[in-house]
Structure 1
Amino acid sequence: MARRIQKNRSLLLGALPLSLAVSLPTLGATYGAGIENSQWYLTESVFECSLVHEVPGYGKAVFRHRAGESLTFFLESASPLMKPGRGMLIVEAPAWRPGVAPTPVGTVDVSDSNRPVSLNARQSRQLVQGLLEGMRPTVTRESWYNGQPVRVQVSNVNFGGQFRQYQTCSGNLLPVNYDQIQRSRIPFTSGGASLSSSDRQLLDNIVRYVQADTTVERIFVDGHTDRSGSRIDNRALSEKRANVVADYLKAQGISEDLIIVRAHGDQYPASRRPSENRRTTIRLQREGERPEFQQANGYGGDSAG
């Protein structure tokens, strides 16, 4: 057994950069589920799909896929076991598959938050591929307390079945999430008040989201202009721009009771560039969210809508 441990340690050190390898005098602490207690859990909705894996003694390993975004991965732990800095991510064979060399994925940033390791879409997909091939992704980083390495292993046992269900979930996700469409902007040409195909696509995404999220209680639609016309003409044009957006939302099935239309003319410029002031903004408000009070002057941003 001691010989096997030493062999595994040699494989790990061979995959690490020299600056990390020379600083790992012993195996340190290793956290990971075995065959008997490796479980994956899928939580699914049209807003998000998450695959959660319990890592005994450490916390959780989570694949997360939000609507409108790519798959990501993070480790979550209530206690900061890893020292902030650069750690190493490899995909290695589990103990019951001796002789298979580990594959380095690269370095990872380790923070002092309760999610010390977060991976981008490319690295997350590499982890998925390794798990599907029966391998075990492992993050290694120096301990906060004694300088020895902390190894967090992600088990492939019971992953495949849950991942197939995740794929079905991800295929049913909405095209956007709340953060992406909470504040949206429709630009207009000088004097114009018509919607382009890209404008309609944006509004269609807003409609799909609002119809799925029953906590959205208000949709503020605010029309604006540049300062090229008279105040009276600009006020009328901004109302026309707001109404063309509101009418489209209603035609696609959004209740009129949700929509609040406001017209501001050239009163609240968003920029010194006229083209950026010819706009209608759409802001969603959920239950429990306090309306924002913004200064309605200068070039700092939009009005309250």
Structure 2
Amino acid sequence: MLINFFFALLFALPVSAEQFQAPVTDTQWQVIESPLECSLMQSIPGFGEAGFYRRNGGALSLSFISQSHAAKQNNVLFQIAEAPWQNKEQRQTLTSQPTELGQTRFSLNGVLAQQALSQMQEGRFPVIEYPSQSYSDNVTVMLSTVKFNDSFASFQQCLSHLHPDTFGEVNKLTVYFEIEQATLTPVAKKALTRLAEYVKVDDSINQIKIASHTDNHGRRRLNEPLSDARALSIKRFLITEFEIPEQLISINSYVEAKPTASNKTPLGRAKNRRAEITLVR
């Protein structure tokens, strides 16, 4: 009886033309958890899906994604509807955005997405309304809160464990060496640790390129093995300390052929005693 009452109230909300929402008796949330992204999505029959998503280093987003109801060139209205059991028809408007002809994804980012998520925790419903090419009047799409709390805890936990670094922050790294040395300094080890920890959680990394260099101090017959040794010291560190697969790592030794600064000064030579590590997807 309670479910029937709830169902009746839910459909008592006003509709413009065609309203889409998950069935009250069969609302399904899907949580995807990884160190790099978290999503909490709901399937909406006849429309597509909607829910929340966050990539590490990025802002929270709320998206409604249609599989069959492309927009006209007009506007999409983002609203918050009161919980059906409150029996109130008014809606709070979050924002209005222009739509392009054929648009099928409608998103809020940052503060507005966080506001919508907070409203769902209080039992309210995010709603979008926009002119669709499928109907003469507007389409209304509602994100249901049914079973929301059952999945929200897992989504929150995922958000709290997102990896702190993004690909753009670690995909290029330069470490420096002392004169005639191939030993990694504590500073270099710390930087390489940060890079390796990211590689361990990002399955899209398919290559780690190491390019080693020397300054022009000393004879070339000594600098060539020194440049090789610097690259190898990085490779060994990644493999032994973090179990990075050897087949991911490639090495190029340039000796003094590609200086990044003038070799005429001590500071310039210090900048040239380096290895550059690049992550490739």
One fold, TM greater than 0.5?
yes
Task: Give yes or no for contact 2:69–2:134 (8 Å, CA) kept in 1.
Answer: no
Match of 2:140 in 1: 151
Which of 186, 193, 199 lines up with 2:174 in the alignment? 186
Cα shift at 1:30: 1.8
Aligned residue among 69, 73, 77 for 1:88: 77
Query: Shift of the alpha carbon at 1:71?
Result: 2.7
| Equivalence for 2:155 | 166
Is the 1:182–1:285 Cα contact (8 Å) retained in structure 2?
A: no
| Residue of structure 1 in register with 2:276 after alignment | 281
Q: How many equivalent pairs are there?
A: 261
**AA aligned opposite 2:71:** M
Residue 105 of structure 1 deviates from its aligned partner by 1.5
Q: TM-score, normalised to structure 1's length?
A: 0.66
Could you tell me the TM-score, scaled by structure 2's length? Answer: 0.70
Distance in 2, matches of 1:277 and 1:146, equals 65
Offset of residue 155 of structure 1: 0.9
Counterpart in the other structure of 1:263: 253
Check if 1:41 corresponds to 2:40: no
Question: Which amino acid in the other structure matches residue 165 of structure 1?
Answer: S
Partners of 1:123 and 1:75 in 2: CA distance: 14
Structure 1 match to 2:118: 129
Q: Which has the higher contact order (CA 8 A, sep 6+)?
A: 2
Task: Note the 1:219-298 alignment, pairs <5 A.
Answer: 219-223=208-212, 232=220, 242=231, 245-250=234-239, 252-255=241-244, 257-258=246-247, 259-265=249-255, 280-285=275-280
Contact 1:269/1:277 (<8 A) preserved: yes
- The unaligned stretches of length 5 or more in structure 1 are 10-25, 287-305
Q: Residue 302 of structure 1 corresponds to which residue in structure 2?
A: none
- 3-state SS in 2 of match to 1:124: helix
Q: Which runs of 5+ in 2 are unaligned?
A: 1-8, 262-267
Seq. identity, %: 24
The farther-off stretch of 237-246 and 58-67 is: 237-246
Higher deviation after alignment, 150-159 or 45-54: 45-54
The aligned amino acid for 2:111 is R
Distance of aligned partners of 1:268 and 1:230 in 2 relative to their CA distance in 1, 3 Å threshold: same
Which residue of the other structure, out of 63, 66, 70, is the alignment partner of 1:74? Answer: 63
Shift of 1:283: 3.2
Alignment counterpart, residue 119 of structure 1, candidates 85, 88, 108 = 108
Spell out, residue by residue over 1:238-280, the C-alpha distance to the aligned partner (whole angstroms, 9 max, x if none): 6576456445434532347243222235656899xx9998864
The offset of 1:64, in angstroms, is 1.8
Partner Cα separation in structure 2 for residue 125 and residue 149 of structure 1:
26
Q: Which residue identity lines up with residue 174 of structure 2 in the other structure?
A: I
* Cα offset, 1:147, TM superposition: 5.4
**Aligned counterparts of 2:260 and 2:63: Cα–Cα separation in 1:** 37
**CA-CA distance at 1:144 after TM superposition:** 2.6
Partners of 1:120 and 1:236 lie apart in 2 by 52
Q: Displacement of 1:133 after TM fit? A: 0.6
Deviates more, 1:44-53 or 1:152-161: 44-53
Residue 138 of structure 1 aligns with an amino acid whose one-letter code is: V
Question: How far does the alpha carbon of each residue in 1:275-295 deviate from its partner, in whole angstroms, 9 at most, with x for none?
Answer: 998864333456xxxxxxxxx
Q: The residue matched to 1:249 in structure 2 has which SS? A: helix
Match of 1:300 in 2: none
Residue identity matched to 2:171: R
Equivalent residue, structure 1, for 2:131: 142
Please identify the structure whose Cα radius of gyration is greater: 2
Match of 2:197 in 1: 208
Q: CA deviation at 1:163?
A: 0.5
Letter in 2 for 1:119: L
Give the superposition deviation at 1:220.
1.6
2:46 aligns with: 57
The root-mean-square deviation of aligned C-alpha atoms, in Å, is 4.2
State the distance in 1 between where 2:109 and 2:118 align.
Answer: 14
Q: Distance in 1 between matches of 2:239 and 2:52?
A: 37
Question: Aligned AA for 1:262?
Answer: N
Q: Given that residues 32 and 152 in structure 1 are in contact (C-alpha distance below 8 angstroms), is that contact kept between their aligned partners in structure 2?
A: yes
Structure 1 pair 75–214 and aligned structure 2 pair: CA distance change class (3 A)? closer
